[in-house]
Chains A and B, each alone.
Chain A
Amino acid sequence: KNQVEQSPQSLIILEGKNCTLQCNYTVSPFSNLRWYKQDTGRGPVSLTIMTFSENTKSNGRYTATLDADTKQSSLHITASQLSDSASYICVVSAGNAGNMLTFGGGTRLMVKP
């Protein structure tokens, strides 16, 4: 069964600090991995997408890494801002018919002043 596990479940950090969110997956065959940001009461918004051959991808203060061998990904947030408070969801796409997505449970990040 395809699974995506994220850690930690929740995290509180002070404004300006860095943090790293983890994602482990057992999706096969692997197609790509996305990180989404979901603000409370809103739909998720895509931050990054990485395919098998990509090790790292940045989007402003967000940097995602992918290790396809160990099936792990991380999302690093630099110099956090209050607006970074949200849920961050790791989503893995299977490389089969339909490219169905497997969603992680998300990490709920709170940035405090």
Chain B
Amino acid sequence: EADIYQTPRYLVIGTGKKITLECSQTMGHDKMYWYQQDPGMELHLIHYSYGVNSTEKGDLSSESTVSRIRTEHFPLTLESARPSHTSQYLCASSERGGEETQYFGPGTRLLVL
């Protein structure tokens, strides 16, 4: 079982609110990722990081931002939530080099009203 955690698991929030989705891993992995997944649809990479102070945008454009101040922590922030942000957000991490299998957290289901 992977040691990667996401909080909250579920979040219902009103339009215009600022939210931060937390992701932490205890495996010492350098690489971390954020994916967005709508119900029954494929995962889309929105952010990734190669290590501390490294952040890059993924394939899918997102209004969210991320930070990587510590190796184990990769929070995602939405400054002003909108209904179009309603989705599931999955965090993952992997070692640098080798097979680089990504280990996923349980996800955060976000509903913006």
Contacts and interface: CB of A to CB of B under 8 A. Distances in A.
A86 B48 CA distance: 26
A80 interface: no
Contacts of A12: none
A105 B101 contact: no
The B contact surface, by secondary structure, is: loop
B12 interface: no
A93 interface: yes
Interface residues of B, number: 23
Given A43-B92, A49-B101, A104 B106 contact: no
Given A32-B99, A101-B45, A108-B40, 20 more contacts: A34-B101, A41-B106, A41-B109, A42-B106, A42-B107, A43-B4, A43-B90, A43-B92, A43-B104, A43-B105, A43-B106, A44-B43, A46-B101, A49-B99, A49-B101, A89-B42, A93-B100, A100-B45, A103-B44, A105-B42
Interface of A: 32, 34, 41-46, 49, 89, 93, 98-101, 103-106, 108
